[in-house]
């Protein structure tokens, strides 16, 4: 498929930390405007996979293409231009401690747009409202709960209305109702803005709500890829067990 | 290769090489646009302005102590009239720059090491990179420039408050007036006494910022690593600063021969 059809492509990507192989010959393509959910047990390389897509990690072997550009062959300055098209929600939100929540969300806008200060504030406020934090603009991240930090991180990731949104554990630390609201928000972003989503989660109901395709990562390899129903009927017992486990639900 | 060779020679040498490359990269990046003016100004406030109270109070105290020691020494030779000049000379040439270097190393070095270490372990540095921001320029170069700019200013503050402290101590003993003290202080001291000592603190600022940034950015092992980065930043920056001072004093004597008189 072309870069237009698949803005994210990984070809035979392998990554080792020391002697531990985290990704082992992973190949996948993420279709334009669709949500791909990455499932798998803890420590199977899901977050590492996301970091390869945004170029924070480079593979030992293999190639990574984003919007048709080979990240693994680009100089640092060009990688930055690719990154402007990507929003990334980190597992622990990674909000900047020294800035208020509003400034965190406004940070990419101030850096990469010519918007006036008033427009930046208005847009940051809008994004915070999307995640239910409109009253927390002036708070410091330290004053937020884990779930609120996560939502603020999502607002920051969406600030530039990126073409690609990488989301690491959107439901972690959220109550079921807020978690559902965040899932709905991601689905809305996908439908309304045509954003391509890659979501890492352990939450199976969340995966069902968001995902057009689910893939299961096990011991650094893509074990199976398909719809939720296909994963439930997988020949691999670990996949079936994961899809029906209480932890997942 | 035996493991002790690796532990005691190869790894330390690799670390030294890495840190020199880090420092060179910081210097080169500081000269290349785009420049992070806003963040540099913020760091100047954090590093420079917020250090002023510490430097001013310490300078005043150092001035008092120097005055007491100078009086005790010069009294033996009946040369009390030289106290203001001797104190000022000692302060602007060496004591001021070195004490400022060590104080800033403690306050700012620990702060940079801990802050960057915490940013590393909480993925904030990755978040900067993911936001298409050059984290090295944004975090390291801004702090380095702020330190280099702030140090001579802080040294001047210390020199000023040190002279004030010296006058306060002297006035308490001999009742010498302020303007008489200042006239006596600057009867011998010249601009070439002030300039080299003050300018060398720019090198101190560079050492403090780069050492602390290097250790902070390369910290690992969670909060324990952050604490270790902060402690090592102060220790290593202070030792490097004192060692570099020896070379700088020699260099100053070479470039400004009148300073050696």
Q: What pLDDT does A2 receive?
A: 58
- Measured between beta carbons, the chain A residues lying within 8 angstroms of B119 are 97
CA distance, residue B127 to nearest chain A CA (Å): 6
Tokens matching residue A244:
């029906």
Nearest C-alpha neighbor of B160 from the set B206, B192, B194, B188:
B194
Q: How far is CA B43 from CA B38, B131, B143, B201, in A?
A: 9, 21, 6, 17
Tens digit of pLDDT at every position of chain B (261 positions):
778 888 888 888 888 888 899 999 999 999 998 899 999 999 999 999 999 999 999 999 999 999 999 888 888 887 888 889 999 999 999 999 999 999 999 999 999 999 999 999 999 999 999 999 999 999 999 999 999 999 999 999 999 999 999 999 999 998 899 999 999 988 888 888 899 999 999 999 999 999 999 999 998 878 888 999 999 999 999 999 999 999 999 888 888 777 666
Contact B107, B51 (CB under 8 A): yes
- Measured between beta carbons, the chain B residues lying within 8 angstroms of A91 are 123
Question: Of A83, A94, A112, which is closest to B124 when you measure between CB atoms?
Answer: A94
Other C-beta atoms within 10 Å of B41: how many?
A: 12
Residues of chain A that touch chain B, judged by Cβ-Cβ distance less than 8 Å: 51, 54, 56, 76, 80-81, 83-84, 86, 88, 90-92, 94-97, 107-108, 111-112
Q: What pLDDT does A249 receive?
A: 43
User: What residue ranges do the domains of chain A occupy?
Assistant: 8-85+162-244, 99-157
Angle at B45 between CA B42 and CA B46, to 5 degrees: 85
Give A9-61 as a DSSP string: EEEEEEEEETTEEEEEEEEEEE-TT-EEEEE--TTSSHHHHHHHHTTSS--SE
Question: Hey, are the CB atoms on A83 and B119 less than 8 Å from each other?
Answer: no
- What are the φ/ψ torsions at residue B181 (nearest 5 degrees)? -65, -45
Tokens matching residue B182:
């200042």
Fold of A8-85+162-244: Rossmann fold (3.40.50)
Q: What confidence tens digit (pLDDT) does each residue in B26-54 have?
A: 999 999 988 999 999 999 999 999 999 99
Contact A137, A100 (CB under 8 A): yes
Angle at B93 between CA B88 and CA B96, to 5 degrees: 75
Q: What confidence tens digit (pLDDT) does each residue in B24-33 have?
A: 999 999 999 8
CA dist A135 and A152 (Å) reads: 12
CA dist B108 and B112 (Å) reads: 6
Q: Which residues contact B231 (CB under 8 A, 6 or more apart)?
A: B110, B113
B132 touches chain A (CB under 8 A): yes
Q: What pLDDT does A248 receive?
A: 47
Name the pairing type of β-strands A20-30 and A69-70: unpaired
Positions in chain A short of pLDDT 50: 247-249
ipTM of the complex: 0.90
Task: With residue B165 as reference, give the H or E element that holds it.
Answer: helix B142-174
Question: Of A84, A92, A107, which is closest to B123 when you measure between CB atoms?
Answer: A92
Residues making up chain A, counted from first to last: 249
The strand pairing partners of A82, in sequence order, are: none
CA dist B247 and A130 (Å) reads: 59
Question: Hey, are the CB atoms on A112 and B122 less than 8 Å from each other?
Answer: no
CA distance, residue A229 to nearest chain B CA (Å): 34
Q: Which residue, among A85, A90, A140, would best test binding to B if mutated, counting the most B CBs under 10 Å from its CB?
A: A90
* pTM for this entry: 0.88
């Amino acid at each position: 498929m072309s870069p237009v059809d698949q803005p994210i492509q990984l070809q035979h990507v392998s990554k080792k930390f020391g002697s531990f192989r985290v990704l082992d010959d992973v190949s996948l393509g993420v279709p334009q405007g669709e949500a791909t959910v990455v499932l798998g047990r803890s420590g199977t390389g899901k977050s590492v996979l996301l970091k390869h897509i945004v170029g924070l990690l480079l593979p030992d072997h293999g190639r990574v293409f984003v919007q048709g550009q080979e990240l693994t062959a680009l100089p640092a300055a060009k990688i930055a231009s690719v990154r402007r098209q990507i929003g990334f929600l980190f597992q622990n939100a990674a909000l900047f401690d020294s800035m208020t929540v509003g400034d965190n969300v406004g940070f990419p806008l101030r850096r990469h747009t010519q918007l006036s200060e008033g427009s930046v504030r208005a847009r940051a406020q809008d994004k915070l409202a999307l995640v239910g934090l409109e009253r927390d603009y002036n708070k410091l991240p330290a004053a937020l709960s884990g779930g609120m930090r996560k939502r603020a991180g999502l607002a920051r990731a969406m600030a530039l209305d990126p073409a690609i949104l990488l989301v690491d554990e959107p439901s972690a630390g959220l109550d079921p109702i807020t978690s559902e609201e965040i899932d709905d928000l991601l689905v809305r972003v996908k439908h309304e803005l045509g954003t391509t989503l890659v979501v890492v989660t352990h939450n199976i109901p969340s995966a069902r709500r968001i995902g057009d395709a689910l893939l299961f990562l096990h011991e650094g390899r893509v074990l199976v890829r398909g719809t939720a129903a296909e994963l439930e009927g997988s020949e691999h017992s670990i996949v079936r067990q994961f899809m029906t486990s209480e932890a997942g639900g | 290769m035996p493991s002790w060779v690796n532990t005691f020679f190869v790894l330390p040498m690799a670390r030294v090489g890495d840190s020199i490359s880090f420092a060179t990269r910081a210097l080169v990046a500081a000269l290349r646009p785009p420049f992070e003016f806003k963040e540099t100004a913020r760091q100047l406030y954090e590093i420079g302005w917020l250090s002023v109270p510490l430097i001013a109070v310490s300078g005043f105290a150092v001035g008092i102590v120097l005055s007491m020691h100078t009086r005790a020494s010069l009294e033996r030779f009946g040369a009390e009239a030289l106290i203001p000049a001797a104190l000022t000379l000692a302060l602007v040439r060496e004591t001021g720059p070195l004490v400022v270097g060590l104080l800033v190393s403690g306050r700012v070095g620990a702060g940079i090491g801990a802050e960057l270490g915490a940013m590393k372990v909480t993925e904030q540095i990755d978040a900067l990179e993911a936001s298409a921001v050059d984290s090295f320029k944004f975090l390291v170069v801004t702090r380095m420039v702020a330190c280099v700019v702030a140090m001579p200013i802080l040294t001047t503050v210390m020199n000023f408050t040190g002279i004030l402290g010296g006058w306060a101590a002297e006035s308490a003993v001999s009742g010498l007036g302020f303007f008489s003290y200042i006239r006596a202080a600057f009867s011998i001291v010249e601009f070439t006494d002030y300039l080299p000592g003050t300018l060398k603190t720019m090198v101190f600022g560079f050492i403090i910022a780069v050492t602390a940034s290097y250790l902070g950015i390369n910290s690992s092992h969670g909060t324990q690593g952050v604490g270790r980065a902060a402690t090592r930043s102060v220790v290593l920056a202070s030792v490097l600063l004192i060692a570099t001072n020896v070379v700088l004093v020699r260099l100053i004597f070479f470039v400004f021969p009148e300073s050696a008189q």
